[in-house]
Structure 1
Amino acid sequence: MKINNNQLLRFTTAGSVDDGKSTLIGRLLYDSKSIFEDQLDSVSKTSAKKGHNGVDLALFTDGLKDEREQGITIDVAYRYFTTPKRKFIIADTPGHIQYTRNMVTGASTANAAVILIDARHGVIEQTKRHSFIASLLNIPHLIVCVNKMDLVDYSEEVYNDIIAQFEEFSSKLITKDIRFIPISALLGDNVVNYSKNMEWYHEGTLLSVLENLHISSDINKIDARFPVQTVLRPQSEEFRDYRGYAGKIASGIYRVGDVVAVLPSGFQSKIKSINAGEKELEEAYAPMSVSITLEDDIDVSRGNMIVRKNNQPKMEQEFDVMLCWLANEAAKPRAKYTIVHTSHEERAIIKDVVYKMEINTFERDSEDSSLSMNDIARVKIRTTRRLMLDAYRDNRNTGSVILIDESTNETVAAGMVV
């Protein structure tokens, strides 16, 4: 299959503490020659000050001063690099269990997830948690890297045992494309270059797998959804009669002359014009940012959605979501939150916790109705007005919501419409 060298692959890395995520990314950047000379010089000096022999690869991702001083990665760090075959964006997420919420952020737009496992410890709770979140977010590819193979004498038996451990629970995941690679991020085995220490492995290095992954667009091309962000009413005499509805197309295609409906009112009209800046278009598609005018004078405001007449989302005031609780403080029963969905904001409550997921066993606990940090649960939400919703599996953009605490303005939860 021919790979487009302009094609962008977004992938996230996840694993437990000290599984070697930062070292792995540093190795990818270093061995693929994606490090600028001034970066290499700076990291080399820092490594020498710390008494390391050679370059400390983890420092290529630990860019914040606090991270370097504490010796840990404390937030989602985004890194960019390019090879002759493809462009990449990496989201490096912390391994501590209290930072599982950061993986939700890093993985929300990813095409693939690289899950690290320490060869000495095998599959642990964080492995299952990160894999489950990746599957929950509909990430199509999981690449399981069994790291630190040098510390288990590059044992094929240890590697096969870890694969068996992972496959025992991964059969319950939505993601079906799961690949396994034995590596040593510190020494470079099977990261960019093949390992001479593991001649029993022949399936490809991590970089070659990433370069050749098939990326299927996660943008829904069928269901036309245009959330209105703002109404344009220029004050100049030349555009006195112009009334445009501006926003980013969430999915689908819009053409001049299309019959559309404006939700939630349901009023119908035809698209009169589509503009991208000063350029007039005959058609526009996701994820373009455009301004649309209609032939009829309809009351349209921020938070409304322009859709096809015969293809509309469900409009519901009460609905189920798979919710990941992000806040340090537990959810308060019947507390009021602001729910944000596309450009639409409403007040909402968590009406009911249907069940919580037990990550280790994937069992559903319908008895426990509490929600604490990093909990993943199916909940029933009720809003003050109806929202225009699609299932997350069909449309990431119109199937996702966040909850904001009205008193602190903190984002407390992220949810995927079931």
Structure 2
Amino acid sequence: MNVFTGQLADPSATTLLRFATAGSVDDGKSTLVGRLLYDSKSVLTDQLEAVEHASRNRGQDAPDLALLTDGLRAEREQGITIDVAYRYFTTARRRFILADTPGHVQYTRNMVTGASTAELAVVLVDARNGVVEQTRRHAAVAALLRVPHVVLAVNKMDLVDYAEPVFAEIAREFTAYARRLGIAAVTAIPISALVGDNVVEPSAHMDWYGGPTVLEHLETVSVDDHDLAGRHARFPVQYVIRPQTAAHPDYRGYAGQIAAGAFRVGEQVTVLPSGRTSRISGIDLLGRPVDEAWAPQSVTLLLDDDIDISRGDLLVPSGDAPATTQDVEATVCHVADRPLAVGQRVLLKHTTRTVKAVVREIPSRLTLDGLSPHPEPGQLVANDIGRVRIRTAQPLALDGYADCRRTGSFLLIDPADGTTLSAGMVGAAFAAATTPPARVGAVRSEDPDAG
């Protein structure tokens, strides 16, 4: 029998935070997540029993909290995370969706999946090792994905005698690197996930630290800057509904999920890429008419005019339409084992629209150590981050990724077998931030024009 040992939050009274964890192998990501779940009393009894059983089989006396997220048998056998593990939990102050991403370099691409919808990224560093190449790679991915908040969790402080200078030096190095990436907000927290220091409860061993615990920061960090409802209104058409019933003989609706912004009855809209215009005559939400709907609601829009609209078209306010283009310049994270090469023919999937395309150029590949571009690499291999120029067979209505994650992103797909090759961000690039580095252990106000 499943027994929930925590307190359920009222969904209508709490906000939702999506966050991802990342770090090098054995930095303690899964242990941190397990500690968060365990100490916040968000673990079902059968889950805890399964972890205790698996821990005993591995010869451990105490439950290995990392196994709360390392759910795959292969992961438990190896003691590592090889896939993105999603968990859902609540506290009295907030609801959470977390993604525990892999640490191995060959699974860096999985972080793109885990962090693509995150409002916050927790980057773990082993206090004994400091900032390493994978730390820089994960910070780079977080910057490219425009994750609004980054937490630097300096883990295993118990193994360096809780020394403040060790923490301060790691925080200084990471925040300086994050600044160069254009990350505007970094909160550094010294922790020991194994024993629980500064995860849910304040540490008794680090009285020199006066900032929040990890959970306290997760519960209080602002998510207003990721509010989709306040952005440019975008509605990708997923399905055309024509029931042809006696009650609704002329019903013709366009169903989908609002990607950003809000739509209202009576508003004039433009259909892209055709450019035809009409006016919203009705909005159906959960089987009932409403006057207004906003992201991320799934709705059906009805228009005054019977015009040609199909899956893949984009409805936008007539006064706020993005330009359409067949030439796409973007930054991509290459996720496939097979390379992406100049001249390669691909499919480009943007929202609900998929078109044929060809890779015209790969101007540069990012060198993470010095954040310098490696010019004209010719191809990108797994886990590479690079700039590409693509020509599409049909025009697309694209936003910049910094303006809208949903309509500013795309996938490159192998037309032969449907394999996802790369995840792209329109116009995304590393910007040199002009803001000063974050103070160690304190939440710094964000610069809305940075990152």
Partner Cα distance (1:296, 1:350) in 2:
38
- Do residues 221 (structure 1) and 224 (structure 2) align? no
Task: Report the TM-score, using the length of structure 1 for normalisation.
Answer: 0.97
* Paired residue total: 416
Counterpart of 2:411 in structure 1: which amino acid?
I
Counterpart of 1:267 in structure 2: which amino acid?
R
- Do residues 71 (structure 1) and 79 (structure 2) align? yes
Range 124-133 or range 237-246, more displaced: 237-246
- Do residues 56 (structure 1) and 64 (structure 2) align? yes
* Residue ranges of structure 2 left out of the alignment (5+ in a row): 1-10, 428-451
Deviation sequence 1:218-271 (CA, Å, 0-9, x none): 415242211111111112222221111111111122111111111122111111
Counterpart of 1:237 in structure 2: which amino acid?
A
Q: 2:383 aligns with which of 351, 355, 374?
A: 374
Partner of residue 202, structure 1? 210
Partner Cα distance (1:89, 1:257) in 2:
36
Deviation sequence 1:365-391 (CA, Å, 0-9, x none): 223222100111111111001001100
Partner of residue 30, structure 1? 38
1:236-255 alignment runs, 5 A limit: 236-255=245-264
Partner Cα distance (2:115, 2:258) in 1:
22
Partner of residue 324, structure 2? 315
1:249-268 alignment runs, 5 A limit: 249-268=258-277
Contact 1:26/1:57 (<8 A) preserved: yes
Partner of residue 335, structure 1? 344
Counterpart of 2:32 in structure 1: which amino acid?
L
Partner of residue 122, structure 2? 114
Counterpart of 1:306 in structure 2: which amino acid?
L
Partner Cα distance (2:68, 2:233) in 1:
41
Counterpart of 1:366 in structure 2: which amino acid?
P
Contact 2:200/2:213 (<8 A) preserved: yes
1:179-194 alignment runs, 5 A limit: 179-194=187-202
Matched residue of 1:172: which SS? Answer: helix
Counterpart of 1:191 in structure 2: which amino acid?
V
- Do residues 92 (structure 1) and 131 (structure 2) align? no
Contact 1:4/1:85 (<8 A) preserved: no
Alpha-carbon deviation of 1:5?
5.2
Contact 2:410/2:425 (<8 A) preserved: yes
Q: 1:234 aligns with which of 210, 234, 243?
A: 243
Range 257-266 or range 391-400, more displaced: 257-266
Partner Cα distance (1:221, 1:200) in 2:
40
Partner Cα distance (1:223, 1:162) in 2:
39
Partner of residue 281, structure 1? 290
Contact 2:341/2:359 (<8 A) preserved: no
Matched residue of 1:63: which SS? Answer: coil
Counterpart of 2:320 in structure 1: which amino acid?
N
Alpha-carbon deviation of 1:4?
8.5
Alpha-carbon deviation of 1:70?
2.3
Matched residue of 1:55: which SS? Answer: coil
Counterpart of 1:15 in structure 2: which amino acid?
G
Partner Cα distance (1:107, 1:325) in 2:
15
- Do residues 162 (structure 1) and 170 (structure 2) align? yes
Partner Cα distance (1:265, 1:164) in 2:
51
Alpha-carbon deviation of 1:304?
1.0
Partner of residue 437, structure 2? none
Partner Cα distance (1:31, 1:349) in 2:
51
Matched residue of 2:315: which SS? Answer: strand
Instruction: Supply the RMSD in Å over aligned alpha carbons.
Output: 1.4
Deviation sequence 1:89-120 (CA, Å, 0-9, x none): 11000000111100000000101000000011
Task: Report the TM-score, using the length of structure 2 for normalisation.
Answer: 0.90
Matched residue of 1:110: which SS? Answer: coil
Deviation sequence 1:17-71 (CA, Å, 0-9, x none): 0101111111111111111122112211221221112111111111122211222
Contact 2:362/2:376 (<8 A) preserved: no
Find runs of 4+ consecutive structure 1 residues off by over 3 angstroms: none
Partner Cα distance (2:297, 2:97) in 1:
20
Counterpart of 1:282 in structure 2: which amino acid?
D
Contact 1:325/1:412 (<8 A) preserved: yes
- Do residues 272 (structure 1) and 268 (structure 2) align? no
Counterpart of 1:147 in structure 2: which amino acid?
N
Quick one: structure 1 residues 188 and 5, their matched pair in 2 at CA, closer, same or farther if it must change by over 3 Å? farther
- Percent identity over paired residues: 51
Contact 2:229/2:296 (<8 A) preserved: no
Q: 1:405 aligns with which of 406, 414, 421?
A: 414
Matched residue of 1:360: which SS? Answer: coil
Counterpart of 2:53 in structure 1: which amino acid?
K
Partner Cα distance (2:204, 2:265) in 1:
60
Contact 1:218/1:396 (<8 A) preserved: no
- Do residues 136 (structure 1) and 114 (structure 2) align? no
- Do residues 21 (structure 1) and 29 (structure 2) align? yes
Deviation sequence 1:120-156 (CA, Å, 0-9, x none): 1100011011011111111111100111111111111
Matched residue of 1:171: which SS? Answer: helix
Matched residue of 1:224: which SS? Answer: coil
